[in-house]
Homo-oligomer: A and B are copies of this chain.
Amino acid sequence: MNKFFHPKSIVVAGASADKDKVSNNIIANLLEMRFGGKIFPIGRNGGEVYGYRIYRSLTEIPQTADLIVIMVPAVGVPDLLEDAGKAGIDRAVIISDGFNESGAEGIRLAEQIKQIASRYSIRFIGPNCQGVICLESGVCVPFAPLFRHQVKKGGVSIITQSGSIGWIAATSLSHEMDGISKVASIGNKLDVDELELLRYLIEDPETKIIVLHLEGFSDGRKLFEYTRSSKKPIIILKSNISGKTSQIALSHTAALASDDRVSDAAMGQAGMLRAGSLREMLEMCKALTLPILNGRNVAVMAGSGGLALIGEDSVLRQGLGMAKLPEDLLRKIAQMGTWKRLNITNPVDLGGFFNNLDILDAVESVLSQREVSGATLSLFRTKEYDSPLTCAELVDQIEGVCKRHAKPIALHFVSDFFPWLK
């Protein structure tokens, strides 16, 4: 599998002198991500793209390559794969669609590429996928544009049946937390499937957390075995609860919903963390980067009594308990804010704390208590509360407190800043 993520040379089949062709985005992405290896575009009309000569066929290329990325109409894929085999290329990413997902002719073509690949011992990802991204090597072969400012290098790797979910996870995890290591969009998974990739990522030193987005299992039993053997957390976003095997099959809600209950139980037993939504998947990744809760006693802190009580509800709903805080600590905190509150307990109402260094001080004092296993902190992020630390600085400092005490803090901001339409 490593050759898919760390090839030294890549052939991109489907390149065109017409810069607007979507397949050229593959080359653009490799350049954008500073892929350090060699790039050989091929396209039947030749010419030039991004300063590279476009070879008319694989036989013109001066050397063999580690990987070929194919984005030409489905009917042209078998010949290209045959050429690749002859040229000694044994890894392919097949982006093209029009195979087993699309009718009789597609199914025939799917069989054909499987045979050719097997004859030449070519391992391939796809078809009907966005291929791989690896932020360590700069490999980035989706045809969907990806820019450096959208992603950063971190510890989450993603195996996904949907290229767009991979894109969403990669960009969101890069903006909301440490970032990603690798993405593998596997599409129809006619050869390489989630099992092989999972095994690879479990061993991959750069990967700390694994996210699976699957619409169907290749082999559930094996998947759950691998998961049980993994020391790394595995989050699964399983969609297609109706269990459709083709887009045309109609769903019979009741029967199929029970199938989902079965697989849900199996995932749980294997220790997979199942996310109910994309948003939950992102939050789970963030939670997993925090220190582990080493007990069940949580301190709830909030910038208002209303939020404090909602925080306590969340703690109780999760089956956790509220930490008992010593009276002298509570008295100390009560004297800190701008308004002196007498009645402080856990949940700790930080209303009237307009200097966020006071907030930081209160958080540090609470988390340093031995009886506190972790905390939640719900704050307003409006102008009044943004001082003297900026919000970003405050978040950094709170992360520091977390790490110093090896206890998790779940952070929640309420803002009056709603910029999405602008």
Contact = CB atoms under 8 A, between A and B. Distances in A.
B239 A306 contact: yes
Given A168-B414, A241-B317, 19 more contacts: A102-B343, A163-B304, A164-B303, A164-B307, A164-B414, A176-B418, A213-B306, A215-B309, A239-B310, A240-B309, A241-B313, A241-B316, A247-B345, A248-B345, A251-B312, A251-B322, A253-B321, A257-B316, A417-B420
Contacts of A419: 417, 419
Interface in A308-352: 309-310, 312-313, 316-317, 319, 321-322, 338-339, 342-343, 345, 351
Determine chain A's interface SS by DSSP, over half rule.
mixed
Given A102-B343, A391-B421, A420-B417, A240 B307 contact: no
Interface residues of A, number: 68
Max chain B C-beta neighbours (<10 A), residue from A215, A239, A256, A277: A239
A101 interface: yes
A2 interface: no
Given A162-B309, A303-B164, A102 B342 contact: yes
Given A103-B342, A313-B241, A345-B248, A306 B253 contact: no
Contacts of A215: 306, 309
A190 interface: no
Contacts of A161: 306
Nearest to A174: B418
B253 A316 contact: yes
Max chain B C-beta neighbours (<10 A), residue from A253, A316, A415, A416: A416
A413 interface: yes
- 7 shortest interchain CB distances as A-B pairs: A162-B306, A164-B304, A175-B418, A165-B306, A392-B421, A164-B306, A241-B313
